[in-house]
Amino acid sequence: MMLSKYQKLLAVFVLLWVMAQCKTPEPARVYTPVFDQTTRQYVKTTPHRPDLDTSVLIRSNVLENLVIALDTISLEEQFTLESAELAVPLELINEKPPLYDTFLVVADYRYPASYVDLLFPVIPLAIIEAMTSDQNGSSDTLHPEQLSLSEVSPNKKPMVSESAPSHKASKKPSIFLSKKERLARKNRKEIDKILALKQAETSEGKTVNVVQEEVLADTILAAEPLVVKEIYTRDEILADTTRDLLDATNILDQHLSEVAWKIGDSIPFYHGMDSYFLDSSLIILYDTVYVEVIDSSRMVPQLSFDSLTNIQLEKLELVFRFYVNERLIFKVFHPEIDDVFIDMIRVQGGDFKLGNNEFDDDERPATALTVSSFLLSQYEVTNKLFCYFLDDQLCDSLGQIEGIPVIDLDHPETRIQRNRFTGKFTVSGGYDEYPVVNVTWIGAQMFCKYAGGRLPSEAEWEYAARGGIYARRFYLNAAKTDYDYVNRYAGGNYLGELGWFVDNSRGQVWVGGRKHPNELGLYDMSGNVWEWCYDKYSKDAYKRINRSRNPMFLEGGNLRVNRGGSWSSDALYCRVSNRNFLDQYGKNQYLGFRLMREW
């Protein structure tokens, strides 16, 4: 049977379509590094490396719902109130006040100043100075026990030997006296002056002239004020060294022994307490004690409640209004929403060189920097992950979110479509794990913020692409203070094993993870799709970087950096240090991105 020309063409077309749909089976994503991360040496066999892989939740099915409550709540309530009045006289209800008997309990005794001055007179200053002179070594000075009280009077000077030196000459210097002795000496001088003045007024029958009174007043005011006590305790009398305390202990004990009430005794209380005292030489201190007297005749009989009161009932209606204005956040489980995770790699921070002095001018100079630890997605962000973002952020049919261009949905290489009836986004069959393309820089950054992170900076991207702390280096001097990197691409120097570029991509983007990763386990850092970085592009950015830790260049216009090369690039453009740029609103089928998060 002969086939017509059209049948032959149709058969050829069907055969070509079938061949196009038959794809090479994708190999399993097995980590096959060329660098032992434990020993930090290159090996030919598969090494054991520290577990740098982690999985991060970027979308949860437990969502927070904000509820604003605005309302007025009215409550109407009816109450029944009871009131009562007394049915019997008040004196038959209340208990009568108790009766008390009053007693005084002796607490202590005090001595009036007049009594103390009588029994224990103050020793004149002349005798105190004579005693002080005797302590300084003079044997002719009279001792206090050599003088009787009758010999020391306001009208007579103390009897002192003629050979004794003047008390002014023998007086102990004030610097050697204690504070208490200096105060006693001052007080005694003032007392002697006052006594002499009084004696002169009495004996001569004259008054001291005004000048003498003014001098005396000035002298007394200039001295320290005297402490005038009205009563004394026993201990204060015995401690007063300015008095004649000869046999003072026995005198005080004898006096107290004659008192009728000792300390702690009870004295019946009645008006006229003064008759308790034998004389005015003692002042009694006492505590007042009240003792309740039980009188059975004063007890009040108990009455029942009904006999005491007359009850009255009253009804009351009340209306309450509450105004509510609250912002409430509820966490709600949504079973129809999937938990979404993304594979990340832990990139430990360290020192490295950004740029290259061998190639393009915008890569120069190679600058030593420090980068902190962070997480970087193991693969480029896929179409499937980006669809979750578009659904949750309510992207429209133009690929915009609230008027901001995010993705070009009309481009044939964009494997994401929007259902015009449901508004939901889906991925074309078989392209779920392919890198998303035709995404603007703003759209990529919005996704990263939605996933709890941001785009990596140029320094973070290049540091991770070189292998972080496991990057292979060679030293440029004997002191090992300067170095360069062995690998030109991410993971080695043979790009055919590491990424998709113009020589092996067959003119299309490929699913992530089919080539060898770099030393950290990151896939497709060289080739497949260019990747947006956070920094703004400037040709001389490396010459102007003024930060040695975590640099980020944000000066200039709207051009943003992209790195790594793509499936349509020559190998030269897939180098780790190569730089490219595009307007932040620009998009094409060669450009995707990765997610960076804090570690």
193 sits in which H/E element: helix 179-204
Beta bridge partners of 54: 344
Q: Which residue has the tokens 């020192």?
A: 351
H-assigned helices in 323-414? 383-392
CB 127 within 8 A of CB 147: yes
Position 596 pLDDT exceeds 50: yes
Position 218 pLDDT exceeds 60: no
Q: What pLDDT does 524 receive? A: 96
* pLDDT tens-place string over residues 9-52: 666 666 656 555 554 444 433 334 444 455 554 444 334 456 78
* pLDDT tens-place string over residues 223-258: 445 556 888 888 888 888 888 888 888 888 888 888
Q: What pLDDT does 275 receive? A: 47
Q: What pLDDT does 203 receive? A: 61
**Residue among 62, 55, 26 at smallest CA distance from 385:** 55
Position 531 pLDDT exceeds 90: yes
Query: Given pLDDT bands bounded at 50, 70 and 90, which one contains residue 580?
Result: very high
130 vs 407, higher pLDDT: 407
439 vs 198, higher pLDDT: 439
Winning range, highest mean pLDDT, from 20-24, 132-136, 216-220, 512-516: 512-516
Share of the chain above pLDDT 90, in %: 37
Average pLDDT over residues 485-502: 93
Query: Given pLDDT bands bounded at 50, 70 and 90, which one contains residue 165?
Result: very low
Q: What pLDDT does 263 receive? A: 86
Position 3 pLDDT exceeds 60: no
Average pLDDT over residues 146-163: 38
Q: At 24, is the secondary structure helix, strand, or coil?
A: coil
Q: Domain map of the chain by residue range?
A: 110-290, 340-598
Position 143 pLDDT exceeds 90: no
Count each helix (H run) and each strand (E run) in the chain, helices first: 13, 24
Q: What pLDDT does 30 receive? A: 37
533 sits in which H/E element: strand 530-536
- How far is it, in rounded angstroms, from Cα 179 to Cα 183? 6
Share of the chain above pLDDT 70, in %: 70
Stretch among 93-97, 205-209, 501-505 having the lowest mean pLDDT: 205-209
Average pLDDT over residues 101-126: 84
Position 62 pLDDT exceeds 70: yes
Superfamily of domain 340-598: paralog of FGE (formylglycine-generating enzyme) (3.90.1580.10)
Query: Given pLDDT bands bounded at 50, 70 and 90, which one contains residue 478?
Result: confident
Q: What pLDDT does 299 receive? A: 67
DSSP 157: P
237 vs 140, higher pLDDT: 237
Q: What pLDDT does 212 receive? A: 52
Q: What pLDDT does 162 receive? A: 37
Q: What pLDDT does 113 receive? A: 86
Q: What pLDDT does 397 receive? A: 93
Q: What pLDDT does 510 receive? A: 95
161 vs 465, higher pLDDT: 465
Q: What pLDDT does 33 receive? A: 43
- How far is it, in rounded angstroms, from Cα 561 to Cα 335? 40
For the chain, the average pLDDT equals 78
Q: What pLDDT does 106 receive? A: 87
CA angle 490, 496, 500 (to 5 degrees): 75
Query: Given pLDDT bands bounded at 50, 70 and 90, which one contains residue 110?
Result: confident
Query: Given pLDDT bands bounded at 50, 70 and 90, which one contains residue 298?
Result: low
Q: What pLDDT does 104 receive? A: 84
Beta bridge partners of 401: 404
CB 288 within 8 A of CB 27: no
Q: Left, alpha or beta for 470 (phi > 0: left; psi -120 to 50: alpha)? A: alpha
Q: What pLDDT does 502 receive? A: 95
E strand spans, 334-485: 340-347, 350-354, 367-371, 374-377, 400-401, 404-405, 416-418, 425-427, 473-475, 483-485
Position 557 pLDDT exceeds 80: yes
Q: What pLDDT does 403 receive? A: 94
Q: What pLDDT does 376 receive? A: 97
Q: What pLDDT does 279 receive? A: 61
Q: What pLDDT does 417 receive? A: 94
Query: Given pLDDT bands bounded at 50, 70 and 90, which one contains residue 190?
Result: low
Give whole-number Cα distances, 118 to 187, 497, 591, in Å: 19, 122, 117
* pLDDT tens-place string over residues 364-384: 999 999 999 999 999 999 999
121 vs 560, higher pLDDT: 560
Q: What pLDDT does 491 receive? A: 92
Query: Given pLDDT bands bounded at 50, 70 and 90, which one contains residue 91?
Result: low
Give whole-number Cα distances, 2 to 40, 212, 462, in Å: 69, 163, 63
Q: What pLDDT does 135 receive? A: 55
Q: What pLDDT does 99 receive? A: 78
- Whether the upstream peptide bond of residue 124 has omega within 30° of 0, thus cis, is no
CB 501 within 8 A of CB 574: yes
